[in-house]
Amino acid sequence: MSRTVWINGSWLPEQEAKVSVFDRGFLFADAIYEVTAVIDGKLVDFDGHMARLRRSCASLSLACPWDGEALRALHQELIQRNQLDEGAIYLQLTRGDSGDRTFLCPEGTEPTLVLFTQAREIVNVPQGIQGIRAITCPDIRWGRRDIKSVGLLAACMAKQEARRQGADDALLVEQGFITEGASSNVFIVTPDNRLVTRPLGNDILHGITRGTLLKLAQELGIEHVERPFTPTEAREASEVFISSATSLVWPVVVIDGVAIGDGAPGPFTRRLRERYIAALREQMA
């Protein structure tokens, strides 16, 4: 079934949805995005995603003429028009069509806003149940990873390298420490049962799922620490997992060919994943 896409006030069949070749998102990656999961036909953590969208806009001095309630209404109508039960909605906001290719954006350029759906299973996926295999590779991304920019070439290259090596994903390393996954935040469970994840800063995305998981861990009485950790610590950890809006929680059972723990999803990861999914459904009820 052809999807219905929203572009700057128009509802269009996906085959007719077009963006100018002079759009700065296309020419310069002068754009940001958000992805909101949809489960049981309902938005997940929508307010958190809109708060991060505003932060990204502010960091780039990028105007967003649509407020949170208007964007919520658009997301909900997209769900209805596309009969989306489970999957994601992608919001792409660019600085717009500058009329020609120029590094400096002319005053008064109108932003381009695109929203589209992507139907796919999120909850009952093999990766979440059986775990994934990961490699480590250098983090070559730009220095403002807290801004959710559409400039994702380095992440694509990391995932391609993971596939080439027979793995499912990549964990990125900078100055001897894991920053995050190619499209996720990373957690380890140490042998003394502490949950560890890298602290917030410009070097990682401020994951909405990450924040919720830390709150749930606290509710479950799990001690957590926010600090950098090395690939060696990750390989020697009892458990490792990644989190994102559409993966929720995926156990990492192998890193660089080394089995994590006994090579199967660990009890803490399974427990936190189950509690997170339950919390989402309680929130959306």
Residues 277 and 124: their CA atoms lie apart, in Å, by 10
Least Cα distance to 42 among 84, 5, 12, 82 occurs for: 84
Q: How many other C-beta atoms lie within 10 A of the C-beta of residue 27?
A: 18
Least Cα distance to 53 among 206, 183, 248 occurs for: 206
Residues 133 and 137: their CA atoms lie apart, in Å, by 13
The sign one gets for the Cα dihedral 156, 94, 243, 178 is positive
Q: Are 260 and 253 in contact (CB under 8 A)?
A: yes
Tokens matching residue 54: 């505003």
Q: Are 117 and 87 in contact (CB under 8 A)?
A: yes
Pairing assessment for the beta strands 248-255 and 239-244 based on DSSP bridges = antiparallel
Alpha helices for 7-67 (secondary structure H) = 24-28, 46-60
Q: Which residues are catalytic?
A: 148
